[in-house]
Amino acid sequence: MKFVLEVTLDDGAAAEDKAEELGRILRYWGGNLGHYALVPGDGSAVYDSEYREVGSWSVGAS
C-alpha cells in the first residue's frame, strides 16, 4: 500500500502558523483514517481550520 498526503499551505502565513496548521491537519486526518478501509482508490480532500480545501490524501498500490 502507498499512502500519499499532499497539503499546500498559505505562502503568506508565518512559519509557526504553517507548522501549527499542518499539525492540526495531521492530527485530524490521521484520526479520521479509521473510517476508511485504506485500500487502493480510497482518498479524500483535506481541509484547513477554515474549511478551505488545501490538499488531499489517497491510497494506491505499492
Dump pLDDT digits (tens) for 1-58.
999 999 998 877 777 888 999 999 999 988 989 999 999 999 999 998 889 899 999 9
- pLDDT at position 13 is 74
Provide the domain limits for residue 12.
2-60
The DSSP symbol for 12 reads T
| Cell digits of residue 29 | 486526518
Q: For residues 52 and 61, give the distance between their C-alpha atoms in angstroms, rounded to a whole number.
A: 28
Q: Taking a C-beta distance cutoff of 8 angstroms, is the pair 56, 44 a contact?
A: yes
pTM of the predicted model, to two decimals?
0.81
Q: How many domains does the chain have?
A: 1
